[in-house]
Amino acid sequence: MNLILLGAPGAGKGTQAEIICAHLHIPAISTGNMLREAISNGTETGLKAKSFMDSGKLVPDEVVIEILKDRISKDDCKNGFILDGFPRTVPQAEALDTMGVRIDKVIDIEVADEKIMQRLSGRRVCEKCGASYHVDYKPSAKEDACDKCDGRTVQRKDDHPDTIRERLRVYHEQTEPLKGYYEKTGKLVIVEGQEEVKDTTALTLKALEA
Ligand code: ADP
Ligand code: ZN
């Protein structure tokens, strides 16, 4: 099964992707994580991506299409995959079509912009293991330290309020048109993001069966 998770930044795509991954035993592929890894490894791709990401802009299509193409050609994708954060533009969706990738379902997680502002501005992530916290909704036991690995929890550069606003603007302008793109193919299923992760998960799993 080849799945796409659509939705604004902070809609909870990553969390749902991990849950579906455990459920269906297919890899969750996050272009955002791959790009952050490239940056911390100082690769050429990382160098190209950094300034776009830090300012809340999208990384150019040809850069992300290339890394995505490489990733889905790996052995572990033979039985399918979950795309989290790709495609984010119509040309990226067209690139999947050109590659001959058949998409079974597109799950769009809808969350209002104000909610996203609250979620992302309070988000903290562990530098070491990537675990995610929220200063109000899901604080770690020790301030600034990860419950799982005791690594330092930090605010992502792009989670500063001005950058979040820019990410949302870019989302509405460039990514939201994908809803129409996939609605036409009959693959789109809309899930209303809930306050509690488990409630969103229940809807996502139902969407998978639909
Ligand atoms: P979020 O969904 O919370 O915005 P991601 O981790 O998915 O976060 O992405 C972080 C950043 O990485 C994006 O703001 C963008 O700059 C870049 N990025 C990730 N995926 C793509 C993509 N498919 N196309 C262009 N840029 C991307
Ligand atoms: Zn950690």
In the chain, domain spans: 2-26+79-209
Question: What is residue 189's predicted lDDT score, i.e. its pLDDT?
Answer: 97
> Which residue's C-alpha comes closest to atom 4 of ligand 1?
9
Identify which of 99, 95, 39 has the alpha carbon closest to the alpha carbon of residue 73. Answer: 99
* Per-residue pLDDT reduced to its tens digit, 27-50: 999 999 999 999 999 999 999 999
Which of 88, 94, 168 best tests ligand 1's pocket when mutated (most atoms within 8 Å of CB)?
88
Cβ partners under 8 Å of residue 101, min gap 6: 2, 72
Say if CB 6 and CB 86 are below 8 A apart: no
CATH topology of domain 2-26+79-209: Rossmann fold (3.40.50)
Percent of the chain clearing pLDDT 70 (strictly above): 100
> Whole-angstrom Cα distance, residue 167 to residue 117?
10
Closest residue by CA, ligand 1 atom 7: 32
In the predicted model, what is the mean pLDDT of residues 199-208?
95
DSSP 85: S
177/188 Cα distance (integer angstroms): 12
φ/ψ bin of 155: left (φ > 0), alpha (ψ from -120 to 50), beta (otherwise): beta
The pLDDT tens digits for 104-163 are 999 999 999 999 999 999 999 999 998 889 999 999 999 999 999 999 999 998 999 999
Cα of 32 vs centre of ligand 1, distance in Å, is: 4
Q: What is the pLDDT of residues 72-110, one digit of tens each?
A: 999 999 999 999 999 999 999 999 999 999 999 999 999
Task: Give the position, in ligand 1's atom list, of the atom nearest the Cα of 171.
Answer: 4
> What positions carry a catalytic annotation?
13, 88, 123, 156, 167
Q: Quick one: residue 148, left, alpha or beta (phi over 0 = left, psi -120 to 50 = alpha)?
A: alpha
For 63, the enclosing helix (H) or strand (E) is helix 61-72
Say whether pLDDT at 210 is over 80: no
Q: Is the dihedral of CA 133, 197, 190, 114 positive or negative?
A: negative
Q: What pLDDT shows up at residue 115? A: 95
Q: Which two tokens stand for residue 27?
A: 């890899």
Q: How much distance in Å is there from the Cα of 58 to the middle of ligand 1? A: 6
Predicted local distance difference test score (pLDDT) of residue 34: 96
